Structure 1
Amino acid sequence: MAPTHPRPPASILLLGAAMLSMAGLATAINSSGFKGGVTVYWGRNKDEGSLAEACDTGRYTIVIISFLDIFGHGEYHLDISGHDTSTLGPDIKHCQSVALVYLSIGGFGNRYSLPTNQSALDLADHLWYTYMAGHKAGVHRPFGDDVEIDGIDFFIEHGSPDNYDVLANRLWSFNKGFRARTPAQLSATPRCRYPDRLLGKAIATGVIGRINVRFYDDSYCAAHWRQEWDKWAATYPTQDYQLYVALPASEKVVGYVHLKSLHLGMLPVLQKAESFAGFTIWDRYSDRLTNYSSPIVQWT
């Protein structure tokens, strides 16, 4: 099914032959076996427990390791809050029997940007060969040579929107060498205001299949969630895309929704949208303390 939102101009790098069709995107998402459910961010607090422990709860269909917090100027850095990177390989493999495992780029720091097209291509290659299904001699793979994560999440909070569309197209183009498999799946986590200032161009490429709309850390989003949700749902009305509602698991975060209010107030509105796929929880540490995600699994 053709997308209902604007597409980038034909001159965008690698658009066309290097991209799969929109029908292929929908098929890739829906055939993964992980449509819908609960997504969680892991890696923001050492006391959240291991990645394997998170997956063993049976609650999450996608776990997002966060964050690759420095990139764009020839330097790359992974910040997972003191977790031992060398132990993650077995945990990732363990998780992949029940969930998809993504790596999120960006975060709340300010030491990342993509100042040029080339910096976007360089980052795409770094992600592909360091963490994903690409393998190249001499490239260090911190999770292990035989460990391949499933996708990349765009969590861009600062800087310019430039060249994230180039990055998305380049990452998606890596899938062209695989049949019936999409080893470079993509998601984005924009703020609720549509269109997102920093991720709007990347999402408009049409290759980002999962969108985690953040209704937290923003008083406007907390107050006007329905108005903004309706915009997202109208722009992405079908299952070609999956819209997740991103909420905090802790009352300490602006935008927290009590479970009763979520069930009785928000859920009837959300479920009217065919593209509504589930919830994204910030974050595993808070969810471990509050058990927030436990009852909402049944609502997805």
Structure 2
Amino acid sequence: MALASGRATSLIALAALLSVVGFLAGPAAATGKTGQVTVFWGRNKAEGSLREACDSGMYTIVIMSFLDVYGHGKYSLDLSGHPIAGIGNDIKHCQSKNILVFLSIGGFGNKYSLPTSQSAADVADYLWNAYLAGSRRGVSRPFGDAAVDGIDFFIEHGSPDHYDELARCLWSYNKAYRARTPVQLTATPRCAYPDQRVERALATGLFGRIHVRFYGDPSCAADWQREWDKWTAAYPAAQIYVGLPASEQTVGYVHPKNLYYGVIPVVQKAANYGGIMIWDRYDDKRTNYSSYAKEWA
């Protein structure tokens, strides 16, 4: 797995080794393809609109990020300056193209937590009525009558307590619907297994997709295959995605050549391989990295 970390000589050596091994291994078998590419949107206003991301034809899932304040009776959505007006129509437009749209909670700030069981129930109630299929008087809906397809857990801060309860509370809303599940759950953990901040939540078995971030951590990225095997073995009922950065400047970046020859042949051997997750839309728009991922995923 070739990594863009100029200061880490060991990682550079690993990249060179994988380049050679990759050519010997050959390209990924077509039978392992899923065609699934997830992208995170909402981290840079210059990335363009949600509608533009969906119209690119590159993605099957778009995750809006982040709802980064919750747990103490206050809620705040940070989409990096994107105007909220119009996003509801964009969500519907994406869904009309069979592209799922999720809302990610958490992120890189420190203004969220679930201090009690009641706070988990309260956050679930808020998410259901503000962003999902609910409609309770007194709860503002930022995107109007548009409903996201589910919630992504991107927990970088605080205690892991009560996230399993939040997952169960959110999932319980599906009981009223026989033909569909208006609440789908995904998680985006760090690559080192297990990620203790979401371990309890994932243990509920309610998460259909897990986007493992194989970037941002040199030691983990250097032994990514071992970690991949752990994730796929631990959650056989979930679809496991390889999370990669679209920026060449991020530790964990995989050159398209090494993606094709060194990574794809490995990950597609797993029965629960799901596809590729791209971080994020802004860098992907600049590098067009998803064009390679889409072709080979």
Interval of TM-score (by shorter of Structure 1 and Structure 2) = 0.7 to 0.9
In structure 1, the partner of 2:254 is 257
In structure 2, the partner of 1:142 is 142
In structure 2, the partner of 1:97 is 96
1:221, distance to aligned residue in structure 2 (A)? 2.0
SS of corresponding position for 2:96:
coil
CA contact (8 A) 1:116 1:163 kept: yes
In structure 2, the partner of 1:17 is none
Instruction: Supply the distance in 2 between the matched residues of 1:224 and 1:65 (Cα, whole angstroms).
Output: 29
Equivalence map 1:126-205=2 (5 Å):
126-144=126-144, 146-205=145-204
1:298, distance to aligned residue in structure 2 (A)? 2.1
In structure 1, the partner of 2:62 is 63
In structure 2, the partner of 1:274 is 271
In structure 2, the partner of 1:22 is none
Code of the residue aligned with 1:181 in structure 2: it is R
In structure 2, the partner of 1:74 is 73
CA contact (8 A) 1:65 1:102 kept: yes
Code of the residue aligned with 1:164 in structure 2: it is Y
In structure 1, the partner of 2:293 is 296
SS of corresponding position for 1:176:
helix
Instruction: Supply the distance in 1 between the matched residues of 2:221 and 2:67 (Cα, whole angstroms).
Output: 27
Code of the residue aligned with 1:58 in structure 2: it is G
1:57, distance to aligned residue in structure 2 (A)? 0.8
1:227, distance to aligned residue in structure 2 (A)? 0.8
Q: Check 1:36–1:74 CA distance in 2 against 1; reply closer, same or farther (3 A cut).
A: farther
TM-score (norm 2): 0.87
Code of the residue aligned with 1:73 in structure 2: it is H
Largest Rg, 1 or 2: 2
Q: Which has the higher contact order (CA 8 A, sep 6+)?
A: 2
CA contact (8 A) 1:40 1:280 kept: yes
CA contact (8 A) 1:36 1:242 kept: no
Give CA deviations for 1:109-166 in whole Å, capped at 9, x if unaligned. Answer: 011110101111100000000000011122210101x211100000000111000000
CA contact (8 A) 1:221 1:255 kept: no
In structure 1, the partner of 2:122 is 122
Code of the residue aligned with 1:178 in structure 2: it is Y
SS of corresponding position for 2:278:
strand
Instruction: Supply the distance in 1 between the matched residues of 2:268 and 2:254 (Cα, whole angstroms).
Output: 17
Code of the residue aligned with 1:257 in structure 2: it is V
TM-score (norm 1): 0.86
| Percent of aligned pairs with the same amino acid | 65
1:36, distance to aligned residue in structure 2 (A)? 5.4
In structure 2, the partner of 1:110 is 110
Code of the residue aligned with 2:257 in structure 1: it is K
User: Would you identify which runs of 4 or more consecutive aligned residues in structure 1 move more than 6 Å?
Assistant: none
Instruction: Supply the distance in 2 between the matched residues of 1:258 and 1:69 (Cα, whole angstroms).
Output: 32
SS of corresponding position for 2:276:
strand
Code of the residue aligned with 2:113 in structure 1: it is S
Are positions 1:85 and 2:84 aligned together?
A: yes
SS of corresponding position for 1:119:
helix
Instruction: Supply the distance in 2 between the matched residues of 1:203 and 1:192 (Cα, whole angstroms).
Output: 14
**Count of residue correspondences:** 263
1:61, distance to aligned residue in structure 2 (A)? 0.7
Q: CA RMSD in A?
A: 1.0
